[in-house]
Amino acid sequence: MAGRPAIFFDRDGTINLDRGFTVRVEDLAFADHAVAALKLALERGFFPIVVTNQSGVARGYYSLDDVRRFHAHMIRALDRQGVRIDENQFYVCPHHPEEGKGEYLLDCSCRKPKPGLLLEAKRAHDLELSKSYMVGDRMTDVETAWNAGCRGAVLLSPNKSNVSLGTGPAPSFVAKDLLEAVQYIVRDFQGEIDD
């Protein structure tokens, strides 16, 4: 039996505002239309997964427990707004290949753009990556999607004309915010977008 479709969401700069190593609960602020986007994803049958590189753990700025506390706070804040996700839908890479300390100094398979977090989520939640999408605010998120075999990758850029795509793989779509990204995904998944 085929697995279910997912939308993999980057965290900082995608769901919440990126304040630079965002980990204090008082710094949580959702990006414009992020809650509406997550609601739409759930309503349309997508399984939301948050995948985040947290090199602040590797660098010793904060702990994995601090990250878990922030995620628990985010889950409660989303729940109050009608978005039901749980801690098992959050995947974190705490490593850094050059600047990590101790056990976190590691060239791992889970740090985006490597696909390890998506592959781990696929196994845990019976996901079909060829029906799934990745949304993020960096080209590494786009690369992660293609490295994992996702159907599509959406890059967030408030000023769409300001995107520097470089020479790597291109996004399927560039969206001004998370809601526009999910709206695109819904249309693409339903086959309403011509190639």
Structure tokens at 87: 């801690």
What own/partner pairs with CB < 8 Å and gap ≥ 24 does 39-43 have? 39/82, 39/83, 40/179, 40/182, 40/183, 40/186, 41/7, 41/182, 41/185, 42/83, 42/84
- Structure-token pair, residue 108: 């791992």
Q: Which of 10, 137, 141, 177 is catalytic?
A: 10
Most distant CA atoms of the chain, gap in Å: 49
To the query of whether residue 10 is one of the catalytic residues in this protein, the response is yes
For this structure, is 194 an active site residue? no
Alpha carbon distance 187, 154 (integer Å): 13
Q: Rounded CA gap, 42 and 96, in Å?
A: 32
- DSSP for 99-129? T--GGGB---SSSTTSSHHHHHHHHHHTB-G
**Antiparallel, parallel or unpaired: β 47-53 and 90-93:** parallel
As given in the structure block, the two tokens for residue 170 are: 């291109």
Catalytic residue among 12, 137, 141, 177: 12
Q: Which residues are catalytic?
A: 10, 12
